[in-house]
Amino acid sequence: MLEIKNLNVSTDNTHILKGISLKVSAGEIHAIMGPNGSGKSSLAFSLAGKPGYNVTSGEIIFDKTNITSMEPEGRARAGIFLSFQHPVEVPGVRLDQFLRASFNAINKSREMDQLDPLQFDKKLKERLKVVDMDPALTKRFVNTGFSGGEKKRNEILQMAILQPQLAVLDEPDSGLDVDALKSVADAINKLRHSSNAIIIITHYQRILEYVVPDAVHILMDGRIVKSGNKDLAREVESQGYEQFANYLSNQSHLTEKESRQ
């Protein structure tokens, strides 16, 4: 479903992703773990097409289409969803109206039916139950004055409504207490099925106790330094990220040599 080939990305003249390659198939959950500043969010933004994240080489193939230079809205319509680590507050735009605008924009691009407010309201109510979110929040402005937990849950609500083929969840666990974490994890599990794929980006292993990944990748200094199964996440938990530093020094040595040539 997704194939990232030797992706190099720069932002503000800084080389932040240094040759990432990754394959994700339908039905899989991949976890990307790494310390702060390793490029986790940059990878998420690059997948969603955030302006300012310039692909200097490599490509992103989604569903057999090269989306490397596609606009964010094009990627969303193609079926990619990014759950933001820091969801943006949009004062003045009511959540239910935003959700319907989004749902209809995507449906329109696929020549599918657009829903009127009543039809959409029905769908929204049903999805709110899946993510266990307070319906009153949908009458408020998007994320404005929401607690950290409410913002995260709102991201998962959007995933539940848009039903993307590929969901990239950027730290869906940060700032959540254990009950909120379980509940968000529970919602993610309800939304996984054999035809979609999920990439969970996280610093800590704890969410992976509830949403069990098929593969775990360690990201350091813009590179995937090690891939493995779910046990790799436990290794990070017990021994930290320093153990992977040697992979990194070897690789940066190589890259430096390459770049000199």
Partner 1 sequence: MIQVEQTNIENYLSAFKIFEQAESSTSSNWMINLRRNAIAQFENSGFPTARRGNEEWKYTDVSPIAKGSFKILHNKSHNANQLPDTKYQQLEGSACHNLVFVDGFLDENLTNISSLPKEVLVCNLSDAVSIEPTFTQRHLAKYADFLHHPFTALNTAFMAQGAFIWVPPNISIDKPLQVLFISSSSNSNLITNPRILALTGENSKFTLIENHSAVNENSYLANVVSEIVLGTNSNVQYYRIQQESKKAFHISTTHVELGKGSRFFSMNLDLGGEIVRNNLNVVTEGEDSSCSVNGIYITTASQHIDNKVVINHNSSYTTSRELYKGILSGKSKAIFHGSIVVREGLRQIDALQIDKNLLLSDQAQANTKPAFWIYSDDVKCGHGAASGQIDRNAIFYLTSRGISESDARNLLVKGFVQEVIESIPNKFYKDKMDNMVNASLLDVLGI
Q: Quote the least distance from Cβ 259 to partner 1, whole Å.
A: 31
Residue 11 bridge partners (DSSP): 14
Q: Which of residues 47-86 bind partner 1 (CB under 8 A)?
A: 48-51, 71-73, 75-77, 81-82, 84
Phi, psi (degrees; rounded to nearest 5) at 148: -55, -45
**CA dist list (Å): 87 to 66, 92, 134, 147, 155:** 27, 15, 17, 11, 7
Binding to partner 1 by residue 87, rule CB under 8 A? yes
Q: Which is nearer to partner 1, 61 or 105 (CB)?
A: 105
- Asked whether position 92 contacts partner 1 by CB under 8 A, the answer is yes
* Per-residue interface string for the shown chain with partner 1, residues 135-174, x marking contact by CB under 8 A: ------x----------------x---x------------
- H-helix or E-strand containing 180? helix 178-191
Identify the H or E element spanning 122.
helix 117-131
Smaller CB separation from partner 1, 62 or 81: 81
Crossing angle of helices 148-162 and 178-191, rounded to 10°: 10
Residues that bind partner 1 in the complex, under the rule CB under 8 A: 48-51, 71-73, 75-77, 81-82, 84, 87-93, 98, 101-102, 105-106, 109, 141, 158, 162
